[in-house]
A and B are shown apart, each in its own frame.
Chain A
C-alpha cells in the first residue's frame, strides 16, 4: 500500500509528462488528479492504521541502492507515526491543489506539463518523508527542490520567473551543501546512514568528538548544525530565506502546495525526524530555537509592509516556519508537527484563496489596486477569513475547554512550550513569538481589509469583471476550510495532549529533562491569554489604520520612515547578497578566465613557448647569410668545440 501511495503520483507525472499530447488537457488532469486522490485515500488508511490504531510501523525494501565498503543502504520505504502525519498532509493538500488547478490553469496552454510537475513534486515529497536513510532523504530533498525550480519557472517566458527559479535552486543548494557535509559527518561517526542504526548509536556517542576542518568539535553538535543548514535552506529560515518570496513568481497553486504547505516544512520534518540526534546537543537546540525565533520575528516585520498579496502570505509562511523551528528547538517536536499540519491547511487555504482573488481580479496581485470586492466574491471572502483567523490563532482559552480555529491550538502550545522550557533561548523565543503573533494579526487583517474592504481601487474594467471562481476551484477549498477550523480541536489530544505518547510512539525522542510540552500545560494563565490579547490588538490596529482612518497608515510610515524602509526593502538581504556573492562570483569568473587562463597560463605556457620558438627561429634564420665563409667559420668553431669537449671527457 505504501508503495502505491508513493509511486502512483510518479506514474501520473510520467503519463502526463510523456503522453500529455495524446491525453490532452482533460486526460492529463483526470489521470493525475485521480491517482493523487487515490493516493491520498490510501494515506489516510495508513495514518489511521499506524498513528491512531498504533499498529506496527511498516518498512518496504526495494533493493540495494549503494553498497561500497561499509557505505551501504537500500531503496526503502518506511512509515512510522511521524511519516504518517506527513503522508496525510502532503497527499491531502496535493490532491486539493491538483483539483483546484483544473480551474485555475484552465486558460493555460501547458496543462499536461503543469500537472506532471505537480505530481512529480508529490512523488519526491513522499520519497522524502518515507525515507529510512540519509541518502534517500537527500534524494527527496533535492527532488522537491527540482520540482520547485520547475514550477517557479513554469511560465518560462517571464524573466522574473526564471530568475526566481534559479535563485530558489541555488539558495537551496547552499543549504544542501551543509546537509551533505552533515550526512558525511554522520557516516564517519556512526558508520551507517540508516536511521535506525544511527539513532540507536547516538547515546553511546554523545560525548564523541569529530575533527571537522581544523577543529576538534563535539560530534553530535557538528552533525546537527550541518544538517540544520540544509533545513534552513529548504524551510527559508533567516539568511537563506530570500528565495521564498521570489518563488511567488510561480502559479498560485504551486505557492500553496510547495511554498506553504509541504516542501518548505521539510526542514521542520527533518529536525523532528532527527530528534534522537538533536536531543543530545544543547548547542544545536539553542541554535535552532534562535534562528527560528529570529525568522518568526523578522519575516513578520517584512510582512507588514508588502503590497503584493502573495508576498505577504509568503513572509507569513517564513514566519510561521520560524515558529515550528523554535518549537522543535525547545524539544516540543510534537507541537512543531502539530503546527505543521494545521499550518498546511490554513496556509494552503490562504494561498488558494489569494489565487481565487487574483483570478477574479484579472491577474492583479497588488493589494493597492484591490479593495471593495467582498460582495462580489463572498465565498472566497469568507474562506479567506477562516484561513486568516486560523493563522492569527483566534480562539477562547477557556480552562478545560478551549475553543478556536486550528492555529489557536497549535500556535499557543508552541508559545507556551517556549515559555515552559525555562531556558534563556526559550525565553527569547517566547518574546519573539509573542511579538510575531501581534504582527501576524496585524498583517493578516491588513491583507483582508486592503483586499476586500474599503473603496474599489482597481480600474473600472477590472472591477466590473470581478467574478466568483468556478466550483472546481471552490469545492476543494471546503476541505481546507474544514481543516482550518477543526483540525486543531480534533488533533490537539493526539498531537500534544493526553494521547500524545501513544500517538507518536517511538518516532520522536524527547529526553526527560526536555519535556517542554508537559511544562506547557502548566504555564501561568497570562501566558495562555497573552497571544490572544496581542492578536486582538493587532486586528484592532489594522482596522484603525486601513478602515477607520486610512490616512493613518501613510502617516505612520512617514513617522517611522527608517523602520518602514527597512521592512519595505526586506531588510536589504537581496542587495547585500548581490553585492557580497553574486557580483563577485561573476567578476571572479571573468577575471580568472581572461587573466588566469588567458594571460598567465597560456601566456607563459603554450603561447609563450610558441612565441619564444618563433623568435629563436627568426634569429636562426638571420644566421643563414648565404656567404660560404660564414658557414666555414661556423663549422670550424664547431670542430674546435667538439675536440675540446672530447679531450675534457677523456681527461675526466
Chain B
C-alpha cells in the first residue's frame, strides 16, 4: 500500500506518549505534574491535528472523500494467520466525526483537569490518553474482534477514573456501571463468536454483506442490543448513568457523556442495522416504545432533580431517546439527524458538565440549592451557561436544533405517533433546563459563601471557546458535517431496504419512500 497508516498513528499516539509519561519522575511532585500535564495536552492536540487533517485533507494528509460510502484510509494487517481475525482499520462517513469528536474532547478534558486534579496527576493523564486510544480505535476498527477489544477496553480506564478520582459514592457507581455492562458484554461476545462460525470471517464489511438467516438475526440482535442499549443508555437500563456522572470527576463526565454514550448509537448503526436488517425492522416498534418512554419519563425525572449533574445526566437519556428513534426510523433525515444529534449532544452535554464542574471546583457542591444569583458575580459564566442551555433545548441556530429537527422530520415520515410523542421533549426539555438555569444563575445572591466566587478564568475561557464555536457552527452551517455523512447513510439505508425487500418483508410505505 505504501501509504502512511494515519489511522493507526492517530490511534496509538496517545498511548505511546502515555508510556513515555510513565517514566517522568522527579522528587518534586509539582514538577512531575506540570510536565505530565503539558505532555498529555501536546499528545492530545497532535492527535486532534491528525484527525482534523484527515477530514480536511490539509497539507500532507489525504482528503476524506465525502462522495463515497466506502471505508477510507483502510489499513490491513494479518494477525492470526489466514481466515482468522485481522487488524483492519478504516473510517466512513458514519465514523469519521465520532473520531473527530473523541479527538476534540480529550484535550479539553485535559485542560479542564489542569487544576482540579491534584492527586496522582501522572496516572490520571495516562488514563485519559489510553482512553483516547481506545475510543478512537473503537470507531476506526473494521474487524469485529478488534472492535470488541476496544469497545470493552474503553471501560477499564473509565472505571479507574471514576473509582480513583471520583466522589464519595464512587464504588457504588462503578459497581452499578459494571453490572449493567457486564451482562451486555457477555452476550455480545457470544453473538460475535456465533457470527464468526456462521460467516467464517470477522471482517466488518464482509459481515455486512453476508446476510445472516432471519432466526439467527433475531438472537444476535438481542445480544447486541443488550450491550448497546446499556451504553446509549436506553430506558430502563439507564440508572447507572446518573450515578456514574455524579461520582465521576468533571472530565470523566465529559468523556462519558461526550463519547461513551455514542458507542451504543454507533454500534446500532455499524452492526445491528446493516448486519441484522430483518431483526432491526422486526424490533423497530420495540425501540420506538423504549425511546418514547425515555424522552418523556427521564424529562419528567430531570424536572425533579436537586443535583445539577444528575439533572444533566437525565437530560442526556432524553436526548439519546431522539437518537435511537432516528436510527430505527431508517430514512435519510432520521439517520443523518441521529448522527448529528449524537455529535451535538457530545458537544453540548460535555459543555454542560464542564459548566457544572466550574462551580463545583469553586464551591464543592453540585446541589442546585447551594447556588442562586450567580449572574451577579459571574456574568461570563452566565452567558456561556445560557448558550449551552439553549443548545440543549434545541433553539434554532444551535447544534441541538438541527439534530432534533432532522430526527423528528424523519420520524414523522415513519410514524406520526412517534414524532408527536418525542416532540413533547421540546416542551419538557425547555421546562427542566430553564428551571435549572433560573435556580442557579438568576435571583438575588443571598448566600454568603457565594459572595466571593470568581468568574471564569483564562484557562476556563480557553476550554469553552472551542465548544462555543462548535455549537454555533454546527447550528448555522450544519452542512459541514451533514455533507460527509450523507453518502454513507444513503448506502446504509439502501442496503437495509434491499435486504428487507429480498427477505420479502416489505417495510411500510413511508420507509420505502425514503428520500
Contact = CB atoms under 8 A, between A and B. Distances in A.
Interface of A: 63-71, 135, 138-139, 142-143, 146, 149, 153, 156-157, 159, 162, 165-166, 169-170, 173-174, 176-177, 180-181, 184-185, 187-188, 191, 211-214, 585-586, 588-590, 592-593, 596-597, 601-602, 605-606, 609-610
B408 A184 contact: yes
B220 interface: no
Contacts of A191: 515
Contact of A153 (B176, B395, B442): B442
27 contacts: A65-B478, A66-B482, A67-B479, A69-B333, A69-B336, A71-B515, A135-B405, A139-B396, A143-B395, A146-B390, A153-B438, A156-B442, A159-B443, A166-B434, A169-B434, A174-B427, A177-B423, A177-B424, A180-B405, A181-B423, A187-B412, A188-B413, A212-B416, A592-B304, A593-B305, A602-B176, A610-B175
Nearest to B402: A66
A606 B301 contact: no
B457 interface: no
B236 interface: yes
Interface centre among A157, A609, A610 (most CB of B within 10 A): A157
B480 to A, nearest CB: 10
A601 B241 CA distance: 13
Interface in B408-437: 408-409, 412-413, 416-417, 419-420, 423-424, 426-428, 430-431, 434-435
Contact of A71 (B303, B395, B409): B409
B278 interface: no
B416 A213 contact: yes
B239 interface: yes
Contact of B427 (A173, A214, A605): A173
Contact of A142 (B305, B373, B395, B486): B395
B300 interface: yes
Contact of B442 (A162, A185, A601, A610): A162
Interface in B469-515: 476-479, 482, 486, 490, 514-515
Given A68-B486, A213-B416, A585-B303, A596 B297 contact: yes
Contacts of B482: 66-68
B426 A156 contact: no
A64 B479 contact: yes
A597 B438 contact: no
A135 B396 contact: yes
A589 B331 contact: no
Contacts of B423: 177, 180-181
Indicate the member of A66, A142, A162, A605 with the most B CB atoms within 10 Å: A66
Interface in B388-407: 390, 395-397, 401-402, 405-406
B467 to A, nearest CB: 17
B240 interface: yes
Interface of B: 175-176, 179-180, 236-237, 239-240, 242, 297, 300-305, 331-333, 336-337, 373, 375, 390, 395-397, 401-402, 405-406, 408-409, 412-413, 416-417, 419-420, 423-424, 426-428, 430-431, 434-435, 438, 441-444, 476-479, 482, 486, 490, 514-515
Contacts of B336: 68-69
B479 A185 contact: no
B420 A213 contact: yes
A234 to B, nearest CB: 14
Given A70-B515, A135-B396, A142-B396, A166 B443 contact: no
Given A135-B405, A184-B419, A606 B427 contact: no
Nearest to A166: B434
A173 B394 CA distance: 11
Contact of A180 (B302, B332, B426): B426
A642 B223 CA distance: 32
B396 A138 contact: yes
Contacts of B301: 589, 592-593, 596-597
Given A170-B431, A181-B423, 4 more contacts: A68-B336, A177-B427, A188-B412, A213-B417
B408 A166 contact: no
Contact of B417 (A156, A214, A593): A214
A144 to B, nearest CB: 11
A157 B412 contact: no
Contacts of A602: 176, 239
**Chain B interface mostly helix, strand, loop or mixed?**
helix
A173 B430 contact: yes
A65 B337 CA distance: 14
A69 B515 contact: yes
B333 A71 contact: yes
Contacts of B416: 211-213
A176 B426 contact: yes
A596 B314 CA distance: 13
B180 to A, nearest CB: 7
A67 B490 CA distance: 13
Given A66-B479, A177-B423, A589 B333 contact: no
Nearest to A613: B179
Contacts of B297: 592, 596
Contacts of A588: 300
Nearest to A71: B333
Contacts of B401: 139
A146 B412 CA distance: 26
A458 B481 CA distance: 63
A589 B303 contact: yes
A601 B479 CA distance: 41
A503 B284 CA distance: 53
B300 A585 contact: yes
B97 to A, nearest CB: 15
Nearest to B386: A150
Contacts of B420: 181, 213
Contacts of A142: 395-396
B390 A162 contact: no
B173 to A, nearest CB: 10
Contacts of A181: 412, 419-420, 423
A476 B145 CA distance: 73
Contact of B337 (A68, A177, A185): A68
Query: Ordered nearest first, which 9 A-B pairs have the shortest CB separation?
Result: A69-B332, A589-B304, A139-B396, A184-B412, A70-B515, A69-B515, A589-B300, A156-B442, A589-B303
B396 A593 contact: no
A601 B298 CA distance: 13
Given A142-B395, A174-B427, A601-B239, A156 B443 contact: yes
B478 A170 contact: no
Nearest to B431: A170
A142 B423 CA distance: 15
Contacts of A211: 416
A170 B428 CA distance: 8
B303 A166 contact: no
A482 B486 CA distance: 56
Contacts of B477: 63
B406 A590 contact: no
Contact of A170 (B176, B240, B427, B486): B427
B461 to A, nearest CB: 13
Contacts of A213: 416-417, 420
Nearest to A598: B239
A281 to B, nearest CB: 19
